[in-house]
Amino acid sequence: MSAQPNPHDPGRDADQTTALLRELVAHLRENRNQLREEWVRRIIDGKLLTGMTREEINAETTSIYDNYVEVLATGSVEALETYARNLSERIIPRGVETSEVVGMVLLLRDVLARSLFWKYQNDFELLNKVLDAYEPAANRIAVTVASSFVHERERTIRLQQEAIRELSTPVLQVRERLVILPIIGVLDSQRSRQLTEQLLRGIRATRAKVVVIDITGVPSVDSTAANHIVQTVEASRLMGATVIVTGLSSEVAQTLVTVGVELGKINALGDLQSGMEEAERLLGYRVTLDRSET
């Protein structure tokens, strides 16, 4: 039985790493103000975060610094992740770029590494070990902050896209049991699908019996978009609503005939006005002009 300690015992290595990290954290806490000021100076020299005032930079860097040291101390990035998301939410509207955020975190990493070089300059071996403990944690922090920022930005973009898409297909009720759906712009397949869904929900919500789809504002229609229109018409019928399509320009009509879309099922009329008149006729409305008003 050998009692010789194994120099590559992973448990012992881990213990040593923990001890070094503890020492490191103590060092960073001790020199907090000086290191943070050094960091802020380098951020300003590097012309990062130009959209923020000096006070804001001071406040944010203090929080980031404390979070950073906290991650080194506990090894858990969750709190930092939350903080980074909140930070991103605050600074994205002010036009802060991804490169600035990443640059800022990397600067902090460099400032702290420099201070470690300084502290352990006389003991190269110990410095190596300290860096072994420090570097993975520091890189993880940089990755966490950068990915939180990007994640938050993507979320904002997604929300905006959603909002634009919602706005792009209004289902408008113009009379009891009658809705119109004006389509403006290009009909790609995603928009067509969303349009169909919104229309069908609209039919259920308003209990519409007649739908007028006006495509005056659609510059061109390809066979996919045309098929989508046909499908929308059929799906609406399954929901018990009649569809009238209006505003087919002569170019669009020609394209449809050329690509051979089956248009027999579509009830088409020239313009929105005739579509509305036909819809009113189907629903039994009679609109009369009151002469006494004029």
Q: Which CB contacts under 8 angstroms, 24+ apart, belong to 237-241?
A: 239/200, 239/203, 239/204, 240/203, 240/209, 241/203, 241/208, 241/209, 241/210, 241/211
Q: What is the C-alpha to C-alpha distance for residues 167 and 169, in angstroms, rounded to an integer?
A: 6
Nearest-approach distance from CB 218 to another protein, in angstroms: 20
Nearest-approach distance from CB 211 to another protein, in angstroms: 12
Nearest-approach distance from CB 256 to another protein, in angstroms: 18
User: Would you say 166 or 197 has its CB closer to another protein?
Assistant: 197
Nearest-approach distance from CB 210 to another protein, in angstroms: 12
User: Would you say 31 or 206 has its CB closer to another protein?
Assistant: 206
User: Would you say 49 or 213 has its CB closer to another protein?
Assistant: 213
N-to-C CA span, the chain: 114
Nearest-approach distance from CB 28 to another protein, in angstroms: 56
User: Would you say 101 or 241 has its CB closer to another protein?
Assistant: 241
Q: What is the C-alpha to C-alpha distance for residues 285 and 281, in angstroms, rounded to an integer?
A: 6
Provide the token pair at 179: 């809705």
Sorted by sequence, the CB contacts under 8 Å of residue 255 that are 6+ apart come out as 220, 221, 222, 226
Residue 246 has φ and ψ, to the nearest 5°, of -125, 165
Q: CA dihedral in degrees (87, 89, 91, 93; nearest 10)?
A: 180
Binding site for another protein (CB under 8 A): 193, 196-197, 200-201, 203-204, 207, 209, 231, 234-241
Sheet containing 210-217, strands listed edge to edge, beginning at the edge strand earlier in sequence: 172-175, 178-184, 210-217, 242-246, 267-269
Provide the token pair at 127: 């410095």
User: Would you say 202 or 247 has its CB closer to another protein?
Assistant: 202
User: Would you say 171 or 183 has its CB closer to another protein?
Assistant: 171
Nearest-approach distance from CB 159 to another protein, in angstroms: 24
Nearest-approach distance from CB 243 to another protein, in angstroms: 12
Strands 178-184 and 172-175, sheet pairing:
antiparallel
User: Would you say 22 or 207 has its CB closer to another protein?
Assistant: 207
